Structure 1
Amino acid sequence: MFWLLLIAAVLVVVIAVVLGFALGAPRGGDAATMAAPTSAPRATTDAATAPATETASPADQTGVVIPATCDGIYTRDWSGDLAPRVLNPAWVSDPARGFKRYGSNDVGLVTMLEATTRLECNWVPEGGATHLFLVTGVAQLTPEQQGSILDHLATTDMDCYDESGGTRCVIEREESETWGESHFVRDGIWIATRWGVSGPSGYTADIVAAIFG
């Protein structure tokens, strides 16, 4: 009987010791929590406060800025010279009217104007589109685009020459209707104008004076 009680007592002690170790050991989740740092390391002051690098636009590089509105590209009022055409009547911006003309009829030039034009100035009759019009687009070009445009203009039937520190190319034709184009390229700015019936003398020169001073 004694031996049975002794064996039972030993078993109780052994079981107690085993349970003690089992309960006292840290759990997996607790160990992971203890090992993890209390906070992520902070960036150094220099890295946190370093200024971002700015990429200059073509306008920044040349100092030439395209005006925000068409009024800014003229030094005087052209409404009398261009009458009965008016500047950007409301119907021009109506999607239902489908009006979209660029400062050229050349496919290659139109493609480039679609991508680079920043300001569109349309002189058209207030009642709607007719063969009487004058449209001017002012585009902003990268040096690569400017070189490409000048190369393309040189392959057309236009007369190109140096003018006002840039390159001017013009054409005028009298077919079923009289029409013409004028292109001026300088310092990343491209002034493209196409007109039907008549184009007033000095128009492009005035835009050049307004933009370049």
Structure 2
Amino acid sequence: MFTSAFPSTRLRRSATTIAAAAAAILLLAGCAQEPAAPAPSGTGATPPVTAEPSPSQTPSPTPTEPAEADTIELPASCDDIYSPAMRAQLEAGVPPLNDPGISMPSTQNAQALQLLESGIPSLRCTWGYPSEVGIATTVSLIEPAAVGDLVGSLANAGFSCADAQGGTACRLTETLVDYDDNLVEKGETHFFRGNGWLATVWLNYGPEGYTEDIASMIWG
């Protein structure tokens, strides 16, 4: 991963929030402190950009063997994974694409991160400058047999998983507070279909329909 010097915003979070989620904040904002509890109501802080909506809480679906139509090849570049409308929205809201200073991983789940770092075929795409706002997405090819265990790990970590777009989507959104009492919104989304896996972490900018747009571009 790339290293960079970021602003000194430092985040805290409660004991009920998994410690691994702090790493995305530290890597994007360059902090050395652990985040703490979600902000109490009435702080007067301005809410961050609206994040991707989470589906209703449902039991984790059981992935099935992929149909031949679900099997994909890795996209050639980040230019291939966004529709023109989503690309325009991202360029207007959180430019640029693939700044080399962004080191935030595309997941904070230990099992998912280990798999991403194992050398599986992957394409990494990021949005934003080194700051407290950004998106990191990785498109990977994954053995379908590994999906069930990974979905189970995400569900056990508090993700909401449900059937979506012919596959399985898992989402988690958290609200953190920095040392200046500013609200920080963080989210993580995973989508599995066939032999494809989309993993995204976003910080203070999660455009509605982001993951759905990528899935539509890749699977049609």
With the shorter chain as reference, the TM-score category is 0.5 to 0.7
- Describe the SS at the equivalent of 1:86: coil
User: Which of residues 191, 196, 200 is equivalent to 1:184?
Assistant: 191
Q: Post-superposition shift, 1:167?
A: 0.5
- Describe the SS at the equivalent of 2:84: coil
Identify the residue that residue 124 of structure 2 maps to in structure 1.
120
1:17-96 matches, within 5 Å, as: 63-82=71-90, 83-89=93-99, 92=100
**Unaligned residue ranges in structure 1 (runs of 5+):** 1-57
Deviates more, 1:111-120 or 1:99-108: 99-108
Between the aligned residues of both structures, percent identity stands at 31
What is the Cα-based RMSD across aligned positions, in Å?
2.2
2:107 corresponds to 1:104: yes
Q: Following the alignment from structure 2 to structure 1, what is the Cα–Cα distance between the partners of residues 137 and 72?
A: 18
TM-score normalized by the length of structure 1:
0.62
How many residues are aligned here? Answer: 146
Q: Following the alignment from structure 1 to structure 2, what is the Cα–Cα distance between the partners of residues 173 and 208?
A: 23
Distance change in 2, residues 1:212/1:134 (3 Å) = same
Q: Following the alignment from structure 2 to structure 1, what is the Cα–Cα distance between the partners of residues 131 and 192?
A: 28
**Unaligned residue ranges in structure 2 (runs of 5+):** 1-65, 178-183
Q: Which amino acid in the other structure matches residue 140 of structure 2?
A: A
User: Which of residues 193, 196, 201 is equivalent to 1:194?
Assistant: 201
Q: Post-superposition shift, 1:61?
A: 9.0
Deviates more, 1:146-155 or 1:197-206: 146-155
Q: What CA deviation, in whole Å up to 9, does each residue of 1:115-148 have, x standing for no partner?
A: 23510001022xxx11111010011111232222
**Matched-pair contact (CA < 8 Å) for 1:79–1:85:** no
Identify the residue that residue 168 of structure 1 maps to in structure 2.
169
1:145-156 matches, within 5 Å, as: 145-156=146-157
Q: Following the alignment from structure 2 to structure 1, what is the Cα–Cα distance between the partners of residues 148 and 95?
A: 34
Q: Following the alignment from structure 1 to structure 2, what is the Cα–Cα distance between the partners of residues 101 and 111?
A: 15
Distance change in 2, residues 1:117/1:154 (3 Å) = farther
Distance change in 2, residues 1:132/1:162 (3 Å) = same
Q: Which amino acid in the other structure matches residue 68 of structure 1?
A: A
Whichever of the two has the greater Rg, that structure is 1
2:211 corresponds to 1:210: no
**Matched-pair contact (CA < 8 Å) for 1:86–1:124:** yes
Q: Following the alignment from structure 1 to structure 2, what is the Cα–Cα distance between the partners of residues 123 and 77?
A: 15
Q: Post-superposition shift, 1:110?
A: 1.1
- Describe the SS at the equivalent of 2:128: strand
